[in-house]
Structure 1
């Protein structure tokens, strides 16, 4: 890719897009914006390919760091918000109760993720959603593995507390998610 090989770029995109999109979607809370962020990350990686130092980091770690920086920029440019996808899945007519319950759980999780401090949200996105190893996620964030583990533990604890509080007060969760409560 450093030599401008479009075939190499296409292969790298095919190999890394899914995991990159999962992390970006978690960080941004919007799958469409995450797709844009991924495309920008690949373009940026294409431009900066000569700067990548293979001895210092794996390409996937470096690419996630490029994407993470792009997501941070996007978050700085907008107010925090959670987009709730209101499109019904194909089988919703068959099982509306299950669809509604799943949608409420997903909305509550997205809201809880949006309320986490940025670094905790990034750690959870890279480790849990993108499936990166702790060492790779730590490298992408520029922290030690111990610091990443701490961010993950605090983030999980906060998510658990937020979600449990939402179960104890469903009317409040409904109001935050746009319901009538």
Structure 2
């Protein structure tokens, strides 16, 4: 942060490379518009550049601070939309899933994450890298410093362990696909 406060473009570009994707994903998931999400990510990074000289050691890390700024920017935009919408009212009923379906899906996601916590560290890493971060097997193997075939074997065992954890929680039958 001291380097960014001193206007070191290289240090700032490294932060941009490391954080821009995450900021865009967060903003897109909150706002639902790719162009607006890009604006939010850029504005959050510009705020980092503009306020770097006020940074105090011991505060939240750069990633946490940037995420908080992006979320606040998204909330501001969503509030403005609610009050300044010039869109026509839809003529048909909203066919989006109802609140009960959203709650059930959220409960299922929470239970699956809890089951993920029951796995060993290596199995959890294989599942997270493959399904949550969507890394190809070759990249996930590289992250875990493994050969591709060894990673694929680990992933197969991790899927089986996850299936067992989900079955133990009553989320699936033991013979069901996970």
Q: Rg bigger for which structure?
A: 2
* TM-score normalized with structure 1 length: 0.45
* TM-score normalized with structure 2 length: 0.45
